[in-house]
Structure 1
Amino acid sequence: MEYSNLKTLDIIAKQPHIHLPTYTLRALMKQILEGMKAFHSTGLIHRDIKCDNILLHSPPGSGRVHAKISDFGFAKKEDRSIGLTYLAGTLPYMASELFQDKIIVTQKVDLYATGVTFYRLLTHKYPINCASYEEQKIKIARMKSIERHPEIKDNLLWDLISKLLEFDPNKRITSDQALQHPYFTSPEAIADISKEQQDLASLAAVAQLEGDSSITEFDKEPSFIRDIVIVNLFIRIQNNKQKCEQALNLGIIDLFIGIMIEYPRFKVLKQLSYQRDIIEIGIKSSSIQQ
């Protein structure tokens, strides 16, 4: 597996009490779709796209975060002329066509799994989550489409995700089509680009001029950039939760941990109960000094 220093997308998907800023979510989705586009250009199908197989990595000192597709153990060449000899993938991420009697696997299964990944980042749930293959097959057969979750309030965002979660693979959009969706190209999307993204893009451009050969065109495009601060926030809170659980297991009581982390345009206040203890996580808007 390729090296990453910031864990995987699971660090975000498994923390429902924190919501990604819209510009961070948009940049993350663009990175993943661009990665899928590049991978599919080789003619391969990944067959196991999921949160745990999207690595997060920050080049040291850059302040930027890259999403990397990993774990190619199930990857195969696309061949529409033959049926599937064995199933691969993780059940909640498996496309509807994988539950048909005659299964022809195309790259569209990866796009469905990408849609599930985005859905989970937003809702912290799976659109369909049954205990077995047979149960999921029955449920999909009874459904016409994936229902919109109340957490997904942005109409353009839901339109994009619903097109990725389309049950008919012939109607499901490709990664290239997804990248051209108004969710990424509309005036609202352009206006949502943060100052932090613009600053990091400028720094990348300067670094390239100074001879940094690792800089890509995406590093200089603000809409693709994710700030390391927000990912570190998820990791820090996850680590503190684990420490609290360990402390409780050791019998420590009256435990109180307050985390106050400042971040521009980003507010979260959530109380979590751990037996008799309360962890308060407060995040207030203002600039952060790393």
Structure 2
Amino acid sequence: MINTFFTLPEFNENYSEEIALAADVYERRKADGMKDFSLSAFEFVFTSDSRTKLEKLGQFLSTNFNYEIGEISEGDDDWELNGVATEFPVDLDNLVYWVLNMYCKGHKFDCKLEAYGAFDDPAEQTFPDIDAGLYSHYFDLAMESYGKGNLGMGVIYFSTAIRIKPQDPNSWYSRAILKDELHTPKAARLDYDKAIELAPDFIDAIINRAANKDESGEHDNAIADYSYAISLEPDNGLAHYNRANSKLRKGDKVGACLDWTKAKQLGYKYSEERLNINCA
């Protein structure tokens, strides 16, 4: 679907501003006496130029996120959908990633996140149960959220798991993947770094960090990470394939062809196509 109401250029242009607005909301909550990680259920408003688009978005949020969806009303220039999210523990990062996920999901349905807020009483704050025995519980909730496309809550649940067991690299690695998908590569990089610090032979984290670096234009650093992964696991076809891509981007066609050849020998299925295009 080509967006006619919330276009891709507008989505990209306002992405950083959406993060700044979420930070402003967090600071206002803090000034009102709300403590970090207090639970809150945010109300939200989406707008679009089509009732049907909002109906589809509302159905998605209700089915996959368990959000309460209100009536759709017609305004002077567009249509409006109101709803209430499930509660989550609010700190700066959690609020930012909840907002970014809503922003992204709205764009997917050509709807715009117009407003959000929560009317909490500082005298009646509640907090999630953070007990050592609940690490797996929150990790599983994060994976379930990810599977349903709720990347924001996935980040929030992984963050809760990290509070309980910060020495486990799996939550850091998994949270990094979600942050990458929510277009915050610098924050994702920090999580990959932590996962690798905790587990220096974490092949998947090393390869993902390399891809993160390559997407950021750091081709030499990406190649260094792919080479490190290959030193740990010489028969990793993905590492050879991706290293070839990075080498090509920095102008090393010979090196790229050698890596694609190796990846093909290891059975990595996309290598032959790259060889045919670049290494005839």
With normalisation by structure 1, the TM-score equals 0.25
Rg: which structure is higher?
2
With normalisation by structure 2, the TM-score equals 0.26
Q: Which has the higher contact order (CA 8 A, sep 6+)?
A: 1
